[in-house]
Amino acid sequence: MNMPGQMMYAPLLLSSLLAQAAQRAAAVEIVSRRVEGDIHRYTYRDCHARAMQLANALTRRGIHGGDRVGTLAWNGYRHMELYYGISGIGAVCHTINPRLFPEQIAYIINHARDRMICFDASFAPLVEQIAHQCPHVETWMMLGDEAALPDAFAIPLESYEAFIGEHPAQFAWPQFDEREAAALCYTSGTTGNPKGVLYSHRSLTLMAYASVAPDALCLSAADTIAPVVPMFHVNAWGLPFSAALVGAKLVLPGAKLDGESLCALFEQEGVTCSAGVPTVWLGLADYMRRNDKRSGTFKRAIVGGSACPPQLAGSLGELGINAVHAWGMTELSPVGTVCSPSHNYADKPADERACLDAKQGRAIAGIELKIVGADGEPLTWDGKSAGDLMARGHWVLDRYYGVEQSPLEGGWFPTGDVATIDADGYMQITDRSKDVIKSGGEWISSIELECIAMSHPEVEMVACIACEHPKWDERPLLVVVRRPDSTLTASDLLAFYEGKVAKWWIPDDVVFVSELPLTATGKLHKLVLRQRFGQHFVGTCARPA
Ligand code: AMP
């Protein structure tokens, strides 16, 4: 006979995170650099009060549970209120990536059937461009005062401050099934239409609980957290939820993400921990080095979204900042692994520790990983066998929004990444499966070749792509942006690989470009590069054995 446990039950709802922060961390600040240019500061108590005003306003407007409300906004306090106010009434906060092409944005808004779009003033020109393509949107709401609304605009606009202003700052957050949808984010796939990932209250709350743990993002009330990763991309890696959970001070940097702006904001606000993609940290490290700065309070840079080049970790280390490597994806809400030291880390020699730090890390509690071969059978965790990475867990996608067929294979989500896992459970991404270079029947890791090139002092940015080859099927080509004033030649850079990888891994050629194409989420757009350079070796047969 089963026996039910006799403990309290309350659904895991996001509203409870903010409501509790408003009590436990009532006076802790949320600081925002606004698109208007100034700094805004208030507390968790104020944020909760305004989220309740918003909840009242939305309810009065007839927004119901399950309705989608879109946001086109930078990281800021009003976006935070939208996260909680929309999801708190049971509606779905649909964060939209403004860096996508306007047609893709219109597609996403229509696919999600957003009833309302709330946008930062800086996106007004974009809204004007797409509004006529989005017939289901009833309200376009600018995140600002009535006075800031533009005089002549193609469509009727409302102001956020007027919308919430006259409503009471009291609201009884409804209790409903924790599996209801809370947030929606579309993947920025490089091919085909973006696909929607619909997060539940349960999945986001559980991820917030798991991600604050010491072996995960290691967040506490003593931290000042600055999510540089945008709130329009996978909920800024859940930081608006995990910061509220622990009651940490939040610093939201708005639109200015260059090294100088971040350095000034971090110094001024005493930021201890931040999260962003490698390009953001390259910019910060470069600025700090050139201006002879050293880090004060800022000790932990969580690096994810793309592989963290070891040389980046090294330069951050010299500035007094510890790079913490993490891996995830939109479909994983996104935190999957974090590279934190295990019990035997300190005993390892320095070179082994450096190798470990370069890995994407161990699955955080709540996530399981496996790697499988071409036959679908699990591969050994020996740190060498590379296979398709599969994930499952409480905050892993089950199916895409509006798509009947689930992508799961035997209950596991195929991530599309290729990885190794070592005996201690440290996972290392070797490639996206579509970016792997298949040379003479063997696989070459484009990420490893990129990391080596990045460690060359004259290389600013690099992409390694597979190019068609008449003899070897595919061979690696480096597409490189040199540092200013560098005269680095292709042969110098290729010679730099000698002794670092097997001879047959060394790229066949290098092309120098002034910039590399990036996707809407700041990753290398290898598809564009393959379209441009994919035939580079056609007509060539030579290749050193
Ligand atoms: P997105 O869904 O746009 O966040 O992209 C997720 C993909 O980014 C993953 O499947 C990986 O291919 C890549 N990615 C994320 N974090 C890392 C990392 N630390 N190292 C290498 N690739 C990463």
Residue 415 CA: which ligand 1 atom is closest?
10
Dist CA 440 CA 442 (whole Å): 6
Greater pLDDT, 518 or 209: 209
3-state secondary structure (DSSP) of residue 120: coil
Q: Which of 59, 190, 256, 443 is catalytic?
A: 443
pLDDT in tens, 166-176: 999 999 999 99
Q: Are 429 and 413 in contact (CB under 8 A)?
A: no
Q: Are 494 and 510 in contact (CB under 8 A)?
A: yes
Q: Decide if pLDDT at 545 tops 60.
A: no
Dist CA 351 CA 305 (whole Å): 25
Tokens of 58: 């939305």
Please indicate whether residue 438 is annotated as part of the active site.
yes
Q: Which of 232, 233, 205, 20 lies closest to 143, judged by CA?
A: 232
Q: Are 410 and 428 in contact (CB under 8 A)?
A: no
Residue 519 CA: which ligand 1 atom is closest?
3
Tokens of 128: 């004007």
Tokens of 320: 């007094």
Dist CA 42 CA 24 (whole Å): 15
Dist CA 11 CA 357 (whole Å): 37
Dist CA 282 CA 521 (whole Å): 16
Q: What is the mean pLDDT of residues 212-233?
A: 97
Task: Say what angle helices 14-24 and 44-60 make with each other, to 10 degrees.
Answer: 140
pLDDT in tens, 353-400: 988 999 999 999 999 999 999 999 999 999 999 999 999 999 999 999
Q: Are 500 and 513 in contact (CB under 8 A)?
A: no
For ligand 1, say whether the CB of 306 is within 6 Å of any of its atoms: yes
Q: Distance between terminal CA atoms of the chain? A: 68
3-state secondary structure (DSSP) of residue 216: coil
Tokens of 534: 């994919």
Q: By alpha-carbon position, which residue is closest to atom 7 of ligand 1? A: 329
Q: What is the mean pLDDT of residues 119-147?
A: 97
| Block residue for tokens 């092309």 | 511
- Name 166's Cβ contacts closer than 8 Å, sequence gap at least 6: none
Q: Are 427 and 420 in contact (CB under 8 A)?
A: yes
Question: Rounded to 5 degrees, what are φ and ψ at 336?
Answer: -110, -55
For ligand 1, say whether the CB of 330 is within 6 Å of any of its atoms: yes
Tokens of 164: 């919430």
What letter would DSSP give residue 174? P
What letter would DSSP give residue 223? -
Dist CA 59 CA 66 (whole Å): 12
Mean pLDDT of the chain: 95
For ligand 1, say whether the CB of 305 is within 6 Å of any of its atoms: yes
For ligand 1, say whether the CB of 428 is within 6 Å of any of its atoms: no
Dist CA 47 CA 28 (whole Å): 11
Q: Are 375 and 395 in contact (CB under 8 A)?
A: no
Q: Decide if pLDDT at 488 tops 80.
A: yes
pLDDT of residue 189: 64
pLDDT of residue 192: 75
Residue 191 pLDDT grade (very low, low, confident, very high; cuts 50, 70, 90): low
Across the strands, what pairs with 432?
417
Tokens of 259: 């090294």
Biggest distance spanned by C-alpha atoms of the chain:
77
Residue 543 pLDDT grade (very low, low, confident, very high; cuts 50, 70, 90): very low
Helix, strand, coil percent values for the chain (each to nearest 5): 30, 25, 45
For ligand 1, say whether the CB of 429 is within 6 Å of any of its atoms: yes
Q: Enumerate domains of the chain plus CATH numbers.
A: 14-255 (3.40.50.12780), 338-432 (2.30.38.10), 437-533 (3.30.300.30)
Dist CA 263 CA 253 (whole Å): 11
pLDDT of residue 267: 97
Residue 519 pLDDT grade (very low, low, confident, very high; cuts 50, 70, 90): confident
Across the strands, what pairs with 428?
420
Tokens of 59: 């309810």
- Name 139's Cβ contacts closer than 8 Å, sequence gap at least 6: 61, 115, 116, 117, 158
Residue 313 pLDDT grade (very low, low, confident, very high; cuts 50, 70, 90): very high
Residue 325 CA: which ligand 1 atom is closest?
19
Q: By alpha-carbon position, which residue is closest to atom 6 of ligand 1? A: 329
